[in-house]
């Protein structure tokens, strides 16, 4: 099956490889372009680092490498280790699970440096503040909306050659719908099977009447497992 992949590189490359191992072909149609913002780190001492994406880390980010890192999942943890952090703790794959891990293992009142994306829901920082932590946010990366989809992806959609689409967040699903509409392929896009990482990611598609399936846990393995039931 040909599967629409809306992630930006390098995530799209890894997803394409995973799809190939399962016998599927990726049709790349990124909805964002991810880059560093160059934002300065907040002042003051922090006791630990929190991150909800592997995009949070860069070799020259200026963060003290001796601090413990609380990473949302295994890929974010791997990025932290690759950037030179040695004390890395791994959450269950979403912001709520990461907040729960912090509550269980980091004494309060501690101050966290949250290496965040510019466009996000404040789930983690709200949960941590409510739990009694201090949170210093540095918006170190941003996912800018793509201007349009590549013509090969649009042509594949219009021809009916694509069978399913993968969606990882509410924002990316909404951007995908907007880009499909802008390309004149909105109806073809809606006819796909829409495989979503979470119920929240599915909401913009549900509003348009798309056929939706939601992974049973918020990670890519569970998302790709939905393809086993796709015709």
For residues 62-75, one letter each, b for 16 or more C-beta atoms within 10 angstroms of the residue's C-beta and e for the rest, the string is ebeeebbbbbbbeb
Rounded to whole angstroms, how far apart are CA atoms 54 and 14? 13
Do 116 and 208 share a domain, yes or no? no
Q: Hey, what's the torsion of the CAs at 184, 189, 190, 194, to 10 degrees?
A: -160
Range of the domain at 40: 35-144
Do 114 and 182 share a domain, yes or no? no
What mean pLDDT do residues 115-141 have? 95
Using one digit for the tens of pLDDT, what is the confidence trace for 184-202? 999 999 999 999 999 999 9
Q: Quick check: 130 and 110 in contact, CB under 8 A?
A: no
Structure tokens at 167: 């969606």
Do 42 and 136 share a domain, yes or no? yes
Do 168 and 216 share a domain, yes or no? yes
- Report CA Rg, the chain: 19
Q: Provide the edge-to-edge strand list for the sheet that holds 211-214.
A: 25-28, 2-5, 164-167, 193-196, 211-214
Cis peptide before 10 (omega within 30 of 0): yes
- Given 99, 121, 144, the domain boundary residue is 144
Do 94 and 156 share a domain, yes or no? no
Do 123 and 159 share a domain, yes or no? no
Do 127 and 197 share a domain, yes or no? no
Percent of the chain with pLDDT over 70: 99
Q: Quick check: 131 and 161 in contact, CB under 8 A?
A: no
Rounded to whole angstroms, how far apart are CA atoms 210 and 203? 10
Percent of the chain with pLDDT over 90: 91
Instruction: For 147, list phi and psi in degrees, rounded to 5.
Output: -70, -35
What mean pLDDT do residues 101-126 have? 95
Q: Quick check: 58 and 82 in contact, CB under 8 A?
A: no
Do 155 and 123 share a domain, yes or no? no
What mean pLDDT do residues 131-148 have? 96
First to last CA, the chain: 8
CATH number for the domain harbouring residue 184: 3.40.50.10090
Confidence class for position 93, pLDDT limits 50, 70, 90: confident
Q: What is the mean pLDDT of the chain?
A: 95
Using one digit for the tens of pLDDT, what is the confidence trace for 64-73? 999 999 999 9
Number of domain units in the chain: 2
Do 7 and 54 share a domain, yes or no? no
What pLDDT is attached to residue 230?
A: 47
Q: Quick check: 197 and 172 in contact, CB under 8 A?
A: no
In Å, how far are 14, 56, 77 from 29, measured between CA atoms?
14, 23, 27
What mean pLDDT do residues 55-66 have? 94
Do 178 and 132 share a domain, yes or no? no
What mean pLDDT do residues 61-89 have? 96
């Amino acid at each position: 099956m040909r599967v629409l992949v809306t992630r930006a590189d390098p995530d799209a490359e890894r997803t394409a490889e995973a799809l190939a191992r399962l016998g599927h072909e990726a049709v790349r149609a990124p909805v964002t372009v991810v880059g560093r913002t160059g934002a300065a780190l907040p002042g003051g001492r922090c006791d630990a680092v929190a991150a909800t994406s592997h995009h949070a880390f860069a070799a020259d980010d200026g963060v003290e490498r001796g601090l413990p890192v609380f990473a949302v999942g295994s890929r974010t943890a791997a990025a932290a280790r690759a950037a030179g952090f040695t004390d890395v703790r791994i959450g269950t794959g979403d912001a709520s699970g990461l907040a729960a891990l912090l509550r269980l293992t980091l004494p309060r009142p501690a101050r966290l440096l949250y290496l965040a994306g510019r466009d996000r829901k404040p789930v983690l920082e709200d949960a941590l503040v409510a739990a009694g932590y201090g949170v210093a946010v540095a918006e170190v990366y941003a996912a800018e909306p793509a201007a349009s989809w590549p013509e090969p992806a649009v042509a594949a959609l219009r021809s009916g050659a694509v069978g399913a689409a993968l969606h990882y967040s509410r924002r990316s699903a909404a951007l995908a719908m907007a880009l499909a509409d802008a390309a004149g392929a909105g109806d073809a896009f809606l006819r796909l099977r829409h495989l979503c990482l979470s119920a929240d990611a599915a909401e913009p598609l549900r509003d348009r009447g798309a056929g939706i399936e939601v992974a049973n846990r918020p990670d890519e393995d569970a998302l790709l497992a939905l393809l086993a039931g796709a015709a």
